[in-house]
Amino acid sequence: MKLICVPGKNGLGMTEGVENSYKEVLKGFEYELLKINLEDIESGLNEIYSKSFSYLSREKCLFFGGDHSISFPLVKAFFDINKFNSKLLVFDAHPDLMEPMQEPTHEEWLRGILNEGFRKENVLIVGVRRNSENVDKKEISFAKKNKIKIIYSDEFEERKLEILDFVSSGKVYLSLDIDVFDSSIISSTGYPEKEGLSEEQVFSVLSKIRDKIVSCDLVEVNLEKGKKKENLKAISVSRKLLKTFQN
């Protein structure tokens, strides 16, 4: 997959610093850096959409963020290219299903994509924390009402085969928020959460599905949120994730 860095952010100040993580994480990787207007959110999102549309029309792509707001224009481009054959697999501690602003932030990007016409039955969210104070009840109610499939982190083992079944058809885009990992593993991110997935759980599934993934993104690595040891772990895990799809 072609590696493209998309250092965008729209976290209402809560994800400040995430746009700089690529400088450490991507050392030694061959990648293309998208220059984005971070001062004008609308312009930045439009730039990401137009450039990613061009790339995704030609080849498989691996995007590194940036916060989760970049996934809105990335997945929208993927959807516009592949239409209703598109599927979206999301690994995330949070469902990101709040009512979206005009330019969806990292908390609303997925709801924004659904509002664009992405089929709700073609979405699977993996790793959501059942009792997190950062998961709004309105998000869960919306998911239940619209029959959006969620595999909570505490039921991952018993339901992980559903992930394999989900990717067995269609064109699959994977959006991976680094906070899907337990906070004992990853704390260099905006909203680290306990009771998350282990490295073994994530990488064992990715090894089985990577050939089914057409394109993907890795977001929310924020080296301004952790101490040196924590940052080194986040860098190590992030690089391992990227190499999973480049090998």
Whole-model pTM: value is: 0.97
Beta-bridge partner residues of 91: 126, 176
Domain ranges of the chain: 2-246
- Whether the pLDDT of residue 247 is over 80: the answer is no
Residue 7: pLDDT band with limits 50, 70, 90: very high
- Whether the pLDDT of residue 41 is over 90: the answer is no
- Whether the pLDDT of residue 145 is over 90: the answer is yes
State which fold the 2-246 domain adopts.
Arginase; Chain A (3.40.800)
Q: Which residues contact 77 (CB under 8 A, 6 or more apart)?
A: 49, 52, 53, 56
Instruction: Give pLDDT tens digits for 51-82.
Output: 999 999 999 999 999 999 999 999 999 999 99
Q: What is the mean pLDDT of the chain?
A: 96
**Gap between the Cα atoms of 135 and 125, Å rounded:** 13
The pLDDT value given to residue 161:
97
Q: In 3-state terms, what secondary structure has residue 126?
A: strand
The pLDDT value given to residue 11:
79
CA distances from 168 to 25, 96, 118, 151 (A): 31, 25, 18, 17
Residue 229: pLDDT band with limits 50, 70, 90: very high
The pLDDT value given to residue 181:
98
